[in-house]
Amino acid sequence: MAEVSRHQLNLLRTLVSGPVFARGDDALAAEVAAYNVLVTHDPDLVVGAESEADVAAAVRFATEHSLPLTVFATGHGSYVDVTEGLMLTTSRLAGEVAVDVEGRTATVAAGHRVSDIVAAAAAHGLAPVVGSSTSVGAIGYILGGGVGPLARTFGMSSDWVRSFRVVTAEGELVHADATHSPDLFWALRGGKGGLGVVTAMELELVPLETLYGGSIFFDPEHVGTVFTAWLEWTKTVPEALTSSAAIVRFPPLEFIPEPLRGKTALHLRVAYVGESSEGRRLLAPLRRVAPALIDAVGDMAASDIGSIHNDPADPIPLWDGNVQRLLTHADAGFAEAILETVGPDVDVPVVAAEVRHLGGATRRDVPEGSAVGGRSADYSLLLAGLPDPSLFASALPQAMEGITGRLAPWLSETTLINFQAKPGEAAVSSWPADIRARLAEVGEAYDPRGIFSGHVAADGSGKM
Ligand SMILES: Cc1cc2nc3c(=O)[nH]c(=O)nc-3n(C[C@H](O)[C@H](O)[C@H](O)COP(=O)(O)OP(=O)(O)OC[C@H]3O[C@@H](n4cnc5c(N)ncnc54)[C@H](O)[C@@H]3O)c2cc1C
């Protein structure tokens, strides 16, 4: 990487209206503080872009000085310390989320979180198709396809993007949609990083005010029977119903609700798009399997969708060895193997083992096609290790190896890019070869020198 002189740094400061931080500046760490508290970014330079013109100037500067450029929104996708190059932060690119009620769209700038779209859309009886956590950055989430509590009904979140505004490696502003720069539009829907800085997107909304949904928790003694019954039940439900089941080891801490404190419980998450009477009928067989510790499934505002998974909004530690895979199939043998490896009777450093029911609309690509990988799976699995650094070197990797070995008959090699922590493995496992090759072509066209992190190379390697 080229050295940036004091003179060039001063020049950069005259080119952008937002703040510029250099390594050693006191305020740099706070500007790039990630959701994942185990990560400390310390790049050479940070530009807090305030406008599209700032983004273009920062990108040109990075290109001219051969500085690798990383985009930072909220740091929900931060697993690896960035220690060089230019980091561009997007939080100042916000303002109002503009909702076009008649056209049923929202125009969302790069600094917005998903929760901002949810709130703006709800005021008009509309909703975006979102993921489990509404505190993630809207653009970063969408670029990775995005799979959430409404996935079976409405598909991948990126299926709902109508257009992007993108600053390319040349510092050019490009409007990408199905007819303008369609190759770039194809790649940005699921292709994640490496293609440019998205400054804004137009997102189609769905008319949705209420859901029949929420969470149900079961005691350790019922985890096995309910998990096994849930898996069978998923094979019977319509596309209007999306659910997931997580075996969670709740710590014995004050902030955990008393009935769950210190227990390994089953957390079922449900979202049914339709009449609540029908939702109740569909859920009845599961409710009959065992008494619930807490049953909080009922009529809810669609704008409360983040409460279904209830992911922590505040920063937490995330281990970069967490395992995420799509499943080839999920039968009774799989349920048995899950319970044997991470069930309540086992002493294992896995804080959560989550299986999401996919399929339905996630299997259908948009008419123009998109770069989303992993559409063919009906289930995904996430194994999150205890975020205790003393376990990272050997205890956790060993435990994960044992678990994935036992689960091997059901694990596909494919992952969802949004949950990928390991830079080197991301490109190979997140897209099939044909999508990967086309992504590399589009990346070559819009970022020939590979300035942006996340650039997918033709040989299948990739960096985040
Ligand atoms: C608690 C939690 C729950 C999650 N739940 C889900 C879920 O249900 N479904 C799902 O699909 N994913 C989920 N994710 C994954 C999440 O969507 C990704 O980590 C996503 O990358 C977060 O984006 P961000 O912008 O908030 O994060 P950041 O770490 O700030 O950005 C991650 C990457 O996104 C890209 N990026 C962000 N903004 C831009 C931009 N303006 N232009 C170009 N590139 C950009 C860059 O490549 C950047 O490196 C979850 C993550 C966490 C931590």
Residue type for position 320: D
| pLDDT in the model for residue 459 | 62
For the beta carbon of residue 417, count every other beta carbon within 10 angstroms: 27
Which are the contacts of 388, defined by CB distance < 8 A and separation ≥ 6?
A: 349
Instruction: Write the pLDDT tens digit of every residue in 332-366.
Output: 999 999 999 999 999 999 999 999 999 999 999 99
Instruction: Write the pLDDT tens digit of every residue in 280-308.
Output: 999 999 999 999 999 999 999 999 999 99
| Dihedral angle over CA of 456, 460, 461, 463, nearest 10 | 30
Per DSSP, the residues of 127-161 read E----S-TTSBHHHHHHT----TTHHHH--GGGGE
> How many A from CA of 76 to the centre of ligand 1?
5
Q: Minimal CA–CA distance to 206: which of 131, 281, 128, 317?
A: 128
Check pLDDT > 80 for residue 422. no
Instruction: Write the pLDDT tens digit of every residue in 101-135.
Output: 999 999 999 999 999 999 999 999 999 999 999 99
> How many A from CA of 418 to the centre of ligand 1?
6
Check pLDDT > 70 for residue 1. no
Helices (H), 191-310: 220-234, 276-289, 306-309
Mutate to test the pocket of ligand 1, among 80, 141, 174, 451 (most ligand atoms within 8 A of CB): 141
Check pLDDT > 80 for residue 3. no
Q: Minimal CA–CA distance to 184: which of 171, 205, 104, 197?
A: 197
Is the Cβ–Cβ distance between 196 and 174 less than 8 Å? yes
Which are the contacts of 288, defined by CB distance < 8 A and separation ≥ 6?
A: none
Token representation of residue 358: 């996919």
Check pLDDT > 90 for residue 2. no
Residue 464 pLDDT grade (very low, low, confident, very high; cuts 50, 70, 90): very low
Determine if ligand 1 sits within 6 Å of the CB of residue 71.
yes
| pLDDT in the model for residue 411 | 97
Mean pLDDT for the stretch of residues 437-452:
93
The C-alpha atoms of residue 455 and residue 464 are separated, in whole angstroms, by 7
The C-alpha atoms of residue 234 and residue 242 are separated, in whole angstroms, by 9
The C-alpha atoms of residue 401 and residue 440 are separated, in whole angstroms, by 31
Is the Cβ–Cβ distance between 69 and 50 less than 8 Å? no
The C-alpha atoms of residue 313 and residue 52 are separated, in whole angstroms, by 28
DSSP state for residue 124 in the 8-state scheme: T
> How much of the chain is in helix, strand and coil states, percent to nearest 5?
35, 25, 45
Instruction: Write the pLDDT tens digit of every residue in 62-80.
Output: 999 999 999 999 999 999 9
Which are the contacts of 181, defined by CB distance < 8 A and separation ≥ 6?
A: 174, 175
Token representation of residue 25: 């500046």
Determine if ligand 1 sits within 6 Å of the CB of residue 454.
yes
Buried b (16+ CB within 10 A) or exposed e, 157-173: bbbbbebbbbbbbbbee
- Helices first, then strands: H and E counts in the chain: 14, 19
Which ligand 1 atom is the nearest neighbour of the CA of 416? 11
Let me know if 61 is exposed, middle or buried by CB neighbors in 10 A (0-12, 13-18, 19+): buried
Mutate to test the pocket of ligand 1, among 35, 40, 76 (most ligand atoms within 8 A of CB): 76
Residue 345, beta-bridge partner list: none
**SS3 label, residue 272:** strand
Token representation of residue 451: 């300035």
Determine if ligand 1 sits within 6 Å of the CB of residue 132.
yes
Residue 245, beta-bridge partner list: 268, 355
Mean pLDDT for the stretch of residues 412-431:
82
**SS3 label, residue 2:** coil
Instruction: Write the pLDDT tens digit of every residue in 227-251.
Output: 999 999 999 999 999 999 999 999 9
Mean pLDDT for the stretch of residues 17-31:
96
> How many A from CA of 346 to the centre of ligand 1?
32
